Chain A
Amino acid sequence: EELPYQPALTQTPVLEGLTTASTFVLDQPRCVFSGYDNADIWLVVALHNATSAFNNTAVPGTPETAFQNFPDHVSAYMTLNATLANYPCPKPAGDITVLRVGSETSCYQDEARPTCNGPLPGPGPYRVKFLALQGSEPVAETRWSVPITLRTAKPSNTISTADSGHSAGMIAITTILSILFAILLAGLVAML
């Protein structure tokens, strides 16, 4: 039941928002769970050093796997419930089939929605895998992904606006005009 598929960040098309400070974008697991028509396919998101601590018998929608308790009380949560019907195979050419982890901002503090796909609380790194449950029995899972690190924003006051130096043009103008002005003053003095 361990499928060889490894979840990964979307490579095509190139997305500017592939990773932001609190979201990242995965490819949908198309043509991966064939045969598991009745299973619920969940996405498990874990801190990268907690993947071994995650037990496949975990039940989604409980406080042990609730998004709201991540990462302080639990080291992994389950979200993005789907069935095989959501991931039809084969993928139509030209369609963009992605999953945006972290897109649901309305429920991120709502304890009544433990399976919320809420914005990730920090830059990570995180690892994800897909888990197929039939009833509450785990029937298939993918491999864990490579660690995914999100972007961290630098403070805007670190942008250096120090003088980039003077261009040759400005130096030329200053020098030449000063010389011309000096000659004129000298001429004026000589004249009088």
Chain B
Amino acid sequence: MAKSDDCVHILQGLLVFGNVVIGMCGIALTAECIYFVSNPHGLYPLLKVTESNGIYTAAWIGIFVGLALFALSILGIIGVIKASRTLLLVYIILMLITFAFEMASCITAAAHQDSLTPSLFLKQMLERYQNSDPANNTDNEVTKTWDELMLQNHCCGVLGPSDWQEYTSAFRRTHKDADYPWPRKCCVLDAQGLPVNLDGCKLGVPGYYNSNGCYDAISGPVNTHAWGVAWFGFAILCWTFCVLLGTMFYWSGIEY
């Protein structure tokens, strides 16, 4: 009996430890998702119009799942220590529901991340940047986001300034090709925000314009976000799986 008692104590200890880890990971997941949702790189308007908003949806779900995991882990610790069948049954069922939500969040984040190709951003940029239709508010946001992006990262377009040459665009409808082969924001600007050498920029002389595309500046942070939500969630779920199996085993061993 002493040996079986020891086994039970070891199982209890493991389950408590497992739940502590789940609780801490839940808080970490919530914090991480709040960080992503707070739009630290200002890229949200670009993602919104690509209809690839899944990464933000996944992050929002992650916030609530993280809090749920924390609360449930406390319930689980109490249930294990008191060896209460009711508490543990409630714990298991609620954990399964949380598991399902987090699963949805991970899969959404991973799936939408795949769809963020350069072509997607290119098409959106060409159709919306400097779209002069004044009624369209989202396009103004897209324009502002692109301007900020090109200014901060010293880049131009998605793949390069030639994006504006190779394809028609809303920008081209209002800006003549001879005056604006590419937007002024692609030029190297001085402290006042004016091009250092406008002719050099229009010609495309190296040093007076930004020749690299902004795709890396966009996909870098977005990919980090998506991987953070998807894979961290996956890791938490694997750990939760083990703890839940252990809890089910423990539950079936508790006498009425």
Contact = CB atoms under 8 A, between A and B. Distances in A.
Genuine A/B complex: yes
B244 A184 contact: yes
Interface of B: 92-93, 96, 99-100, 103, 106-107, 110-111, 113-115, 117, 119-120, 122-123, 126-127, 160-162, 165-169, 172, 176-179, 181, 199-200, 202-206, 209, 211, 230-231, 234, 237-238, 241, 244-245, 248, 251-252
Contacts of A21: 165, 177
Interface stretch (A84-92, A94-102, A126-134, A139-147): A94-102
Contacts, number: 141
A contact residues, range: 35 or more
Contact of B166 (A154, A160, A163, A185): A154
Main DSSP-derived SS at the B contact region = helix
Interface of A: 13-18, 20-23, 25, 96, 98, 100, 102-105, 118-119, 151, 153-161, 163-167, 169-170, 173-174, 176-178, 180-181, 183-185, 187-188, 191
A168 B206 CA distance: 40
B241 A156 contact: no
Contacts of B237: 177, 180
Main DSSP-derived SS at the A contact region = loop
A181 B166 contact: no
Contact of B178 (A102, A155, A167, A176): A102
Nearest to A178: B103
B178 A174 contact: no
Contact of A22 (B93, B122, B177): B177
Given A155-B167, A177-B106, A183-B241, A163 B178 contact: no
